[in-house]
């Protein structure tokens, strides 16, 4: 079509969607075919129980997976999780082990070839995990049209996405759809690629750069604005790492623009519902029993009093983390002064440089792990 769009059931597929389908469904056969490390950018060390879960994923599923980092939030057992752009299903099969038989993981992807790989191994993985019935399913559809794909509103505890949102030409609609299908108190926890400034058309229309997760990268400041417009809580920056481009031809097109892989967490909670308080982490999160890193500002040590602002207090009391924290008024019953975190870094490029200097920017990784059975009901 002249406008590069084809429409059905209210959603218009653009030429960008067609190009991405072709890139990930036909051009890329394995991770070795990628021309940058944008879709493989590392984040943090992987906990042992997640490494063990990944070992049980079929080799073909892992080899055809092109995400950036590893997206594993905490407190997963019993949860209903949606994976945006699930690809070959690696993260879905890893997460299916962590949510357990009482939880469920749904993957949505628009690429038929990727879904075919994922669906082929459902029975294989359920047998490998020792589950009596599948707790994973896959839906073909667009991340900009979740409800049109048949996903009910207010139905998921957590949504994850691994280097996929940047591939969409309408990122605000992606966030809005995610917000709609999340339950109240639910979380969008995702890793993606961000640029140091708004990108020019020359880069945004470059098919290879778009397929490599760079051409569609959002300026990180625009994420903050879009999240607010949709209704999410302000994005909480978890971790970040610098992306390198070793292909000279692509470097010449990119010029001085820089890119970073960053993980954020956004919550669907009532705005203005929290008050600054002191909070005590009660422990109990699998893989973070003694210390829980919530984001790059807050790390909660078990039984330690920490002062949190109204925003964080609202998240902790209205989300699946509520049972793991005790909140009390500032000063507490004993007048104890809590630990005050140094809140300052909001720029993912600054965080990436800081972590690199600390020697944390070169490890393969993800973010923490699952939790107790009381997490999601």
pLDDT tens string 301-333:
999 999 999 999 999 999 999 999 999 988 765
| Of 86, 96, 88, nearest in space to 56 by CA | 96
CA dihedral of residues 152, 156, 162, 164 (deg, nearest 10): 20
pLDDT of residue 316: 95
Is 124 within the bounds of a domain?
yes
For residue 258, what are its two tokens? 């820089």
Is 370 within the bounds of a domain?
no
DSSP string, 60-107: HHHHT---SS----S--TT-EEEEET-TTSHHHHHHHHHH-TTSEEEE
CATH of residue 296: 3.40.5.100
Q: Which residue has the higher pLDDT, 83 or 48?
A: 83
User: Is the domain of 206 the same as that of 301?
Assistant: no
Percent of residues, the chain, with pLDDT higher than 90: 67
- Alpha-carbon distance of 293 to 74, in angstroms, equals 10
User: Is the domain of 296 the same as that of 240?
Assistant: no
Q: What average pLDDT does the segment 208-222 reach?
A: 93
User: Is the domain of 287 the same as that of 227?
Assistant: no
Is 65 within the bounds of a domain?
yes
Q: Give the bridge partners for 160, in sequence order.
A: 83, 189
Percent of residues, the chain, with pLDDT higher than 70: 80
User: Is the domain of 201 the same as that of 235?
Assistant: yes
Is 363 within the bounds of a domain?
no
User: Is the domain of 193 the same as that of 289?
Assistant: no
Q: What average pLDDT does the segment 249-271 reach?
A: 94
Is 375 within the bounds of a domain?
no
Q: Give the bridge partners for 325, in sequence order.
A: 281
For residue 288, what are its two tokens? 């973070």
Is 171 within the bounds of a domain?
yes
pLDDT of residue 16: 60
Q: Which domain holds residue 10?
A: 5-271+352-357
pLDDT tens string 82-121:
999 999 999 999 999 999 999 999 999 999 999 999 999 9
Contact 98, 53 (CB under 8 A): yes
pLDDT of residue 368: 27
User: Is the domain of 49 the same as that of 105?
Assistant: yes
What is the number of structural domains in the chain?
Answer: 2
Query: How high does pLDDT run on average in the chain?
Result: 85
pLDDT of residue 17: 58
- Alpha-carbon distance of 24 to 31, in angstroms, equals 10
Residue 249 has pLDDT above 80, yes or no: yes
Residue 40 has pLDDT above 70, yes or no: no
User: Is the domain of 45 the same as that of 157?
Assistant: yes
User: Is the domain of 192 the same as that of 253?
Assistant: yes
User: Is the domain of 166 the same as that of 310?
Assistant: no
């Amino acid at each position: 079509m002249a406008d590069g769009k084809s429409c059905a059931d209210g959603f218009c597929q653009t030429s960008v969607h067609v190009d991405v389908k072709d890139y990930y469904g036909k051009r890329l056969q394995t991770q070795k075919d990628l021309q940058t490390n944008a879709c493989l950018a590392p984040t943090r060390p992987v906990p042992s129980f997640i490494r063990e879960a990944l070992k049980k994923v079929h080799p073909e599923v892992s080899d055809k997976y092109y995400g950036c980092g590893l997206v594993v939030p905490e407190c997963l057992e019993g949860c209903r999780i949606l994976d945006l752009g699930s690809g070959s299903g690696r993260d879905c099969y890893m997460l299916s082990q962590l949510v357990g038989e009482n939880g469920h993981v749904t993957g949505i992807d628009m690429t038929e070839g990727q879904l075919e790989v994922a669906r082929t191994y459902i029975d294989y993985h359920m047998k490998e995990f020792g589950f009596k019935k599948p707790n994973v399913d896959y839906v073909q559809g667009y991340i900009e049209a979740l409800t049109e794909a048949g996903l009910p509103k207010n139905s998921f505890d957590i949504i994850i996405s691994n280097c996929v949102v940047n591939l969409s030409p309408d990122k605000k609609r992606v966030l809005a759809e995610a917000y709609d299908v999340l339950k109240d108190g639910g979380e969008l926890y995702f890793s993606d690629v961000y640029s140091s400034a708004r990108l020019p058309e020359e880069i945004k229309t470059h098919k290879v750069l778009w397929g490599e997760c760079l051409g569609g990268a959002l300026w990180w400041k625009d994420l903050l604005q879009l999240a607010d417009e949709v209704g999410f809580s302000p994005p909480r920056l978890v971790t970040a790492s610098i992306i390198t481009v070793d292909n000279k031809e692509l470097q010449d097109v990119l010029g001085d623009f820089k890119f970073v892989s960053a993980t954020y967490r956004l919550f669907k909670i009532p705005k203005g519902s929290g008050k600054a308080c002191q909070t005590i982490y009660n422990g109990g999160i699998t893989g973070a029993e003694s210390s829980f890193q919530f984001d790059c500002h807050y790390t909660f040590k078990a039984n330690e009093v920490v002062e949190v602002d109204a925003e964080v207090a609202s998240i902790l009391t209205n989300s699946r983390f509520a049972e793991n924290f005790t909140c009390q008024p500032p000063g507490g019953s004993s007048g104890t002064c809590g630990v005050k975190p140094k809140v300052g870094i909001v720029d993912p490029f600054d965080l990436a440089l800081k972590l690199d200097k600390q020697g944390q920017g070169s490890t393969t990784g993800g973010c923490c792990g699952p939790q107790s059975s009381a997490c999601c009901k």
